[in-house]
C-alpha cells in the first residue's frame, strides 16, 4: 500500500482552503491513503473559536471530503473538530473512504506548557481498529503516543498500522523521536506519524513526519519538505512478530479480524 504524508501548515480559520489542499493532494499524487495533521481542517491554534468551527458528523466538511474520496477512489485521514452534542467537542482523527467513515477521538489531552486542550475538548474513551485494503489500522492523536497501553491495545485488537496525526511544537521533538520507534518495535507494527511543519501564530511546529517499520526503522522521514510517499508491506508485520513475538506473549488468544 502507498501512503502519502502531508505536513503542510493548515490555513487558520479557513476550512475551504484546507479542504482544497486535501483535494489537490489526492488529484495530483498516486497513493492509496492520504494523511494530514492534527486539527488540519480548521488549524490548531484557534483558541476559543474552535467551538464555532466544530461540526457534527453530517457537517459540510465531512460531506465534501467524502465526495473527494469517492470521486478519486482514495482514502483520507485528517484532523477535525467533532461536536457530539451542542457545546461538547472532541479533537478527532477521521478516516474517510468514500461513504465509509471512522472517527477516533483523542484520548489524552495535554494541558501543560503551550497546551490547553482540556479547556476545549472532552477526552475520548475508545480505541478503534478498522480494515482498509487488507490492513488493520488504528489511529492516535499526538500526545496519545506517550501512553504505551493505548498502542498496545490497538495492536492486541489486530492493528497492523497506527497512524498518529500531530500538532507538535519544536519543544517536543526529542521526545517524539524516542517514543515513535518504540511503539513499532514493542508491538511489531507500522507507525505513521504526520506532524505540521512551520510557524502557526507564536509556535513553531517541527514536522518530522515519518513512516516507521515494525522493527522500529524509519522508512521515510520528512524534514523541510511538505510531502512524501512511502510503500509499506503487510508481510513485514508478520515477519517482525515471528522474530519478536511480543503480541503473542501479551495475550492468550489472537483476536479475530
Q: Which long-range contacts (CB under 8 A, 24 or more apart) does 126-131 make?
A: 127/153, 127/154, 127/157, 128/102, 128/104, 129/154, 129/157, 129/158, 129/159, 129/257, 130/95, 130/102, 131/257
Over range 113-130, report the average pLDDT: 93
Res 137: pLDDT: 98
Q: What is residue 115's predicted lDDT score, i.e. its pLDDT?
A: 86
| Domain 2-250, classified CATH 3.10.310.40, yes or no | no
Task: Express each pLDDT in 128-178 by its tens digit.
Answer: 999 999 999 999 999 999 999 999 999 999 999 999 999 999 999 999 999
* pLDDT tens track for 59-92: 999 999 999 999 999 999 999 999 999 999 999 9
CA distance to 85, 152, 165, 192, per residue, from 160 (Å): 32, 11, 16, 11
Of residues 85, 19, 78, the one with CA closest to residue 51: 85
Q: Which residue has the higher pLDDT, 39 or 253?
A: 39
pTM of the model: 0.95
Amino acid at each position: 500500500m502507498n501512503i502519502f504524508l502531508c505536513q503542510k501548515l493548515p490555513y487558520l480559520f479557513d476550512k475551504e482552503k484546507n479542504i482544497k489542499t486535501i483535494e489537490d493532494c489526492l488529484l495530483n499524487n498516486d497513493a492509496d491513503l492520504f494523511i494530514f495533521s492534527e486539527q488540519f481542517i480548521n488549524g490548531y491554534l484557534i483558541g476559543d473559536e474552535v467551538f464555532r468551527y466544530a461540526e457534527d458528523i453530517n457537517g459540510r466538511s465531512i460531506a465534501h471530503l467524502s465526495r473527494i474520496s469517492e470521486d478519486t477512489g482514495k482514502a483520507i485521514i485528517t484532523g477535525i473538530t467533532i461536536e457530539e452534542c451542542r457545546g461538547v467537542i472532541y479533537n478527532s482523527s477521521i478516516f474517510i473512504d468514500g461513504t465509509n467513515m471512522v472517527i477516533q477521538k483523542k484520548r489524552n489531552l495535554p494541558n501543560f506548557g503551550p497546551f490547553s486542550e482540556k479547556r476545549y475538548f472532552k477526552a475520548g474513551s475508545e480505541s478503534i481498529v478498522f480494515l482498509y485494503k487488507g490492513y488493520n489500522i488504528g489511529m492516535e492523536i499526538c500526545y496519545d503516543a506517550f501512553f504505551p497501553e493505548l498502542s498496545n491495545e490497538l495492536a492486541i485488537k489486530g492493528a497492523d498500522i497506527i497512524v498518529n496525526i500531530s500538532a507538535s511544537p519544536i519543544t517536543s521533538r526529542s521526545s517524539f523521536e524516542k517514543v515513535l520507534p518504540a511503539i513499532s518495535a514493542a508491538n511489531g507494527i507500522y507507525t505513521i506519524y504526520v506532524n505540521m511543519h512551520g510557524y502557526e501564530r507564536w509556535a513553531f511546529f517541527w514536522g518530522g513526519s515519518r513512516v516507521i517499520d515494525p522493527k522500529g526503522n524509519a522508512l521515510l522521514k520528512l524534514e523541510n519538505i511538505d510531502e512524501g510517499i512511502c510503500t509499506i508491506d503487510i508481510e513485514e508485520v508478520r515477519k517482525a512478530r515471528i522474530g519478536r513475538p511480543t503480541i503473542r506473549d501479551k495475550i492468550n488468544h489472537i483476536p479475530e479480524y
